[in-house]
Amino acid sequence: MELLMAIVIGILFMCATYLMLSKSILRIIIGTGLLSHGAHLLILTMGGLKGGSVPLLSNKAASYVDPLPQALILTAIVISFGVTSFLLVLAYRTYQELGTDDMEEMRGTKANE
């Protein structure tokens, strides 16, 4: 199971890297989304995927899955959620001000300032 997850996460990272190296801002932001999905799935996988009950004490199971990675993922998800929404609004403002979504055109020339 872990091997399968590792391969899937690898593919996510591959797609994210490819998208982040492209010219359009939106593609880059989609790339960052895929990258954080990959990172979150990786925490889950690295915490171990052995069977067990959901971490609720009322279940009274013999064994539970590790609760710590789930808390870490929850934290990381809301953080990347906040950053992504900021990034999207920033991209929108940049498009309004600079009139382009092409990273190649956002150079440090005098005309662009």
Query: Alpha carbon of 48 to those of 10, 13, 36, 42: distances in Å?
Result: 17, 20, 19, 10
Does 14 sit near another protein (CB under 8 A)? no
Does 94 sit near another protein (CB under 8 A)? yes
Q: Return the structure tokens found at 41.
A: 């799935």
Query: Alpha carbon of 3 to those of 40, 42, 48, 69, 73: distances in Å?
Result: 16, 11, 11, 18, 20
Does 38 sit near another protein (CB under 8 A)? yes
In the complex, the smallest distance separating the C-beta of residue 66 from another protein, rounded to whole angstroms, is 9
Does 69 sit near another protein (CB under 8 A)? yes
Please, is 57 exposed, middle or buried when counting C-beta atoms within 10 Å of its C-beta (0-12, 13-18, 19+)? exposed
Instruction: Choose which of 18, 75, 85, 102 interacts with another protein (CB under 8 A).
Output: 75
Torsion sign across C-alpha atoms 32, 82, 24, 104: negative
The residue among 41 and 53 lying less far from another protein, judged by its C-beta, is: 41
Give me the residues that bind another protein (CB under 8 A), please: 20, 25, 28, 32, 35-36, 38-40, 42-43, 45-48, 68-69, 72, 75-76, 79-80, 82-84, 86-87, 90-91, 93-94, 97-98, 103, 106, 108, 112-113
